[in-house]
Amino acid sequence: MAKLAFLGLGVMGYPMAGHLQAAGHQVTVYNRTANKAQAWVEEHGGTMCTSPREAVEGAEFVMTCVGNDDDLRSVCIGPDGAFAGMSQGATLVDHTTVSAKVTRELYAAAKDQGFSFLDAPISGGQAGAENGALSIMCGGDEPVYTRAEPIMQVYAKICRRIGETGAGQLTKMSNQIAIAGLVQGLSEALHFAERAGLDGRSVIEVISQGAAGSWQMVNRYETMLDDHFDHGFAVDWMRKDLGICLSTADETGASLPVTALVDQFYKDVQKLGGGRWDTSSLLKRLRALD
């Protein structure tokens, strides 16, 4: 069993860190809001610290799962950051969805200081984190991935190294691009069925078994039909992710017209007051147009 640190106990990090502790690892946690870390320790055991630097001391692996590029930099860099306390030969595994730019920046900084950095964004939502069934897409040096994979498998359904540093984040961008189109298509299908006077549940029962079936359809259609969106992956975070996708597309020359359009639809949802609604709330936007 390994000595680990987990930095960031949001809706994803909290259960992920819990799985590591339950698997017998020695886990120290840090969260910007200290009472969340205290609650985790009371529930799972382990220890908590008041700074990333303190939390990572002596850890073989450090997991981060925070909000955005700036959050990741702040938890890693600076006198109280993780990099100031990490041991030679240790590995930081970042599960945050961020830009490939900050990933490469932190990879280089870590290498200069004698430890390793792996980008390992996750997909599967809160349920995937709670059930230990996340999809993890990784970028970084192959020997580093090989050492870290058994740790990540504790909360993974699938874990793969895609390529060099940044490849994990680029794969996560592909994931978010696909989700954006899927959710908009599902929202339009349900909206069309409603306007045509069909029973939405009957429609999904049939079409989910054919070529139109998807995870989004199976896991979100009921809450969508019930106009319930106070759960799941928030629109604000999706817009953050799609912004990274669109910015990277400009850099690479990729054309993302549907993604750009859906991003604007999510902006409309925010204007409806739905920044914290689940991404499936695109249907609510269509209903608001009626």
Under 8 Å CB-to-CB from 135, ≥6 apart: which residues? 122, 123, 124, 128, 156, 157, 158, 159, 175
User: Cα separations (Å) of 60 from 6, 119, 125, 144, 173?
Assistant: 11, 16, 27, 12, 29
For the chain, give every residue range classified as CATH 1.10.1040.10.
Answer: 170-289
Q: Give pLDDT tens digits for 73-97.
A: 999 999 999 999 999 999 999 999 9
The pTM is what?
A: 0.95
Determine the pLDDT at residue 1: 86
Determine the pLDDT at residue 53: 98
Q: Give me the count of residues in the chain.
A: 290
- For residue 85, the Cα-to-chain-centroid distance in whole angstroms is 25
The Cα 167–Cα 177 span in angstroms is: 15
CATH class of 3-164: alpha beta
Q: Give pLDDT tens digits for 14-71.
A: 999 999 999 999 999 999 999 999 999 999 999 999 999 999 999 999 999 999 999 9
For the chain, give every residue range classified as CATH 3.40.50.720.
Answer: 3-164
The Cα 116–Cα 66 span in angstroms is: 19
Say which CATH architecture domain 170-289 belongs to.
Orthogonal Bundle (1.10)
Q: Give pLDDT tens digits for 154-192.
A: 999 999 999 999 999 999 999 999 999 999 999 999 999
Q: Give pLDDT tens digits for 233-288.
A: 999 999 999 999 999 999 999 999 999 999 999 999 999 999 999 999 999 999 99
The Cα 261–Cα 268 span in angstroms is: 11
For residue 5 the two structure tokens come to 């640190």
The full DSSP string for 3-66 is EEEEE--STTHHHHHHHHHHTT-EEEEE-SSHHHHHHHHHHH-SEE-SSHHHHHTT-SEEEE--
Amino acid at 178: A
Contact 71, 143 (CB under 8 A): no
Determine the pLDDT at residue 290: 76
3-state DSSP assignment of residue 162? strand
Active site residues: 172
Contact 81, 72 (CB under 8 A): no
